[in-house]
Amino acid sequence: MKIKPEQLSRTLSSQNLPLYWLSGDEPLLMIEAADLIRSQYREKGYTEREILNVDKSFDWGHFLQSTGNLSLFAEKKIIELRLTTAKMEDAGKKAIQHYLSELNPDYLILMSGPKLDAATLKTKWFTEIEKHGAFMQIWPIKTEELSSWLEQRLLREGIQADSEAVHLLVDKVEGNLLAAMQEIEKLKLLSSDTGENTIRLDAKTVMQVVADSSRYNVYQLIDAALLGDVSRAQKMLAGLKNEGIFPLIILAALCRELRTLLPMLEKKSEGQGVNAIIQSGRVWFNRKQAVTAALARLDTQSVWKLLDHSRLIDQSIKGLSRANPWIELSLLLLQLSGAKPDKRDQVA
């Protein structure tokens, strides 16, 4: 069965499932979900734990051996399968199906790995797994939800923060929940000298204590531009530049996104509805808002112009043009965001 993160505690309390599969790319939320599952099953007597790191060279015979060792005196055990890729090989599918056909109540299988695509969720072998256990997709916290998430985490640690402090903390750790928790721990330690039960946090304290832990990735950058969030896209580009990201990586991702938009925009020009286009294009639901905004703002001609501009950037990266690739990337993102280029907004 599929469950949502907010249903995990209730599911653990009400059911004794033989398998849990956590899927997602947000490290902190994945870690916390796995910790909760382990904690609940330890209370049920599952005191042993075995970790199997599954990569392309993994021998599924190890898994079958681990789950096939039956003993009258064996301890209840949690067997963790940590998947390095979202694609399961045939040997892995058969091994898990074999185990599920001969379930051992003394074992819990805890699987965790990258997010799965929609096609995988519809396959026969996956639906068979769902019949026996719980599958939970863990999505990153949306930008607009990060303030409330941080506020709740601060309160859980006994910290009352004013709105300005929360806003500043969001700006400092945007996109990096692990860094956010580290900063909360730091704030808690450095602010605990007051002797009060409740720590009160203001923007001045955040400025003094919190390091700039912003983590931006290329795909978040693209979504910000598609949404038309000019300032955020430019800030993220500057962050990537400061991290030493090679500009060709950003350009390649942008070109791929632009080429993906072209057939969608052609369908739009033919009169097809945006929802139908989004569905046929197999756009992930957490990206629908960004792609919808882009389809409303762009047309095929403007996308071809952006692709033509990309050729100039490619030449500048390879030393065939005197243009500054970072400035040109900044201009490209401004145009993709729907803004008029302004030299003051460009990344130097």
Domains of the chain, CATH where assigned: 2-138 (3.40.50.300), 143-209 (1.10.8.60), 218-345 (1.20.272.10)
pLDDT surpasses 70 at 343? no
Token output for 158: 């006994």
Per the prediction, the chain carries an average pLDDT of 86
Instruction: List pLDDT tens digits, range 3-34.
Output: 999 999 999 999 889 999 999 988 899 999 99
Instruction: List pLDDT tens digits, range 143-185.
Output: 888 899 999 999 888 888 888 888 888 887 777 888 888 888 8
Give just the sign of the alpha carbon dihedral 7, 8, 13, 15. positive
Residue 286: the pLDDT is 74
Q: Which of 186-195, 233-242, 274-283 has the highest mean pLDDT?
A: 233-242
Closest CA to 281 of 304, 296, 262, 255: 262
Residue 291: the pLDDT is 92
Residue 199's pLDDT band, with cuts at 50, 70 and 90, is confident
Residue 344: the pLDDT is 46
Closest CA to 39 of 20, 58, 12: 12
Instruction: List pLDDT tens digits, range 113-149.
Output: 998 888 888 888 888 888 889 999 998 888 888 899 9
Q: Is the whole-model pTM more than 0.75?
A: no
pLDDT surpasses 90 at 206? no
Chain centroid to CA 264: how far? 25
Give the whole-angstrom CA distance, residue 112 versus residue 110. 7
**Could you write out the DSSP letters of every residue in 323-336?**
S-HHHHHHHHHHHH
- The long-range contacts involving 65-71, CB below 8 angstroms and separated by at least 24 positions, are 67/99, 67/104, 67/107, 67/109, 70/104
Token output for 327: 């400035």
Give the whole-angstrom CA distance, residue 254 versus residue 132. 41
